[in-house]
């Protein structure tokens, strides 16, 4: 199937969301209500169901995690070094460098990566995707918070509360527990989860598009461009090298890892930037620019992988 026809429906859903808020047909409070339902009910239901039913027996290998996370950490520290040595106002600042590094390496795996993979490859990508996603936020958020707290006492209690109050993290972990314990969920519960989770991906794409109209890209254009280039080009290239040449993973696994790494910067990186009060505009701009650029770069990566 032509890659453009695979990507086009996803882009169209996001564009409808963008038009809905840009024309003020939907107000921000209304989009916030849809967002609350999507991220606290629909997506957790979808993730819990898929995680609890996924077959991990063929995928849990050290090579899988190394092929993805070694490049992620490499690009994280690359972004941090760029900020640490070259940013005009946040030079030599650990917290600013950590936040910029997060913006250059944190992928929007659930909202962008997963829907594309489901359409391109099929449901066989779910197990690999969720294995990667399970540790994605926890690792990068922990690293960013730890580096930012270099000169202060790191509050593990507060950080743990932040991580485990995240509905995405909780739903994935609970689904994993059910999966490994081989519990059998009641049929009515499974069917309810399927029904609630069915609109999760389209709603997430709609919200992503709707949110873009509220971001402004005014300053920090150079560093937004650097972060976007690291995220969309350098990171997936290194993931392709490690997956294909270093660990010799199969074609489907390599495709999954590359597309997850080629997904634009996730919105949660902006929430961390707000919390740290560093690089808010840069990370918000990176979310916007990388999302828009990914409409071109992801089809290019799919073409390359094919």
Least confident residue range of 94-108, 156-170, 171-185? 156-170
pLDDT for 40-52, tens place per residue? 899 889 888 888 8
Nearest to 298, CA basis, from 119, 123, 72 = 119
Q: How confident is the model at residue 92 (pLDDT cuts 50, 70, 90)?
A: confident
Out of 79-83, 240-244, 271-275, 277-281, least confident range = 271-275
**6 pLDDT band (50/70/90 cuts)?**
low
**Nearest-CA neighbor of 9 among 1, 276, 36?**
1
Across-strand partners of 265?
Answer: 107
Confidence of residue 35 (pLDDT cuts 50, 70, 90): confident
At residue 94, does pLDDT exceed 80? yes
């Amino acid at each position: 199937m032509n890659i453009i026809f695979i990507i086009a429906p996803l882009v169209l859903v996001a564009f409808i969301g963008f038009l809905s808020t840009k024309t003020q047909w939907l107000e921000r409070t209304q989009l916030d209500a849809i967002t609350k339902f999507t991220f606290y009910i629909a997506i957790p239901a979808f993730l819990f169901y898929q995680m609890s039913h996924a077959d991990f027996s063929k995928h849990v290998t050290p090579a899988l995690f190394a092929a993805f996370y070694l490049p992620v950490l490499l690009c994280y520290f690359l972004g941090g070094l760029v900020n640490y040595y070259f940013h005009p106002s946040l030079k030599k600042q650990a917290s600013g460098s950590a936040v910029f590094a997060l913006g250059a390496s944190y992928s929007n795996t659930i909202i962008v990566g997963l829907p594309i993979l489901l359409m391109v490859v099929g449901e066989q990508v779910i197990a690999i995707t969720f294995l990667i996603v399970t540790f994605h936020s926890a690792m990068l958020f922990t690293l960013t918070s730890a580096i930012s707290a270099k000169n202060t006492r790191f509050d593990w209690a507060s950080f743990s509360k932040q991580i485990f109050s995240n509905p995405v993290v909780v739903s994935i972990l609970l689904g994993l527990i059910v999966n490994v314990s081989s519990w059998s969920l009641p049929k009515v519960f499974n069917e309810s989860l399927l029904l609630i989770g069915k609109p999760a991906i389209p709603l997430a794409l709609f919200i992503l598009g709707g949110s873009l109209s509220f971001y402004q890209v005014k300053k920090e254009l150079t560093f937004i461009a650097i972060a976007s280039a690291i995220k969309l080009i350098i990171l997936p290239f290194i993931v392709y090298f490690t997956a294909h040449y270093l660990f010799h993973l199969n074609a489907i696994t390599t495709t999954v890892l590359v597309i997850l790494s080629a997904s634009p910067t996730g919105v949660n990186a902006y929430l961390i930037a707000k919390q740290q009060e560093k690089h808010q505009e840069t990370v918000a701009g990176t979310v916007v620019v990388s999302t828009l650029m990914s409409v071109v770069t992801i089809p290019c990566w799919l073409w390359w992988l094919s």
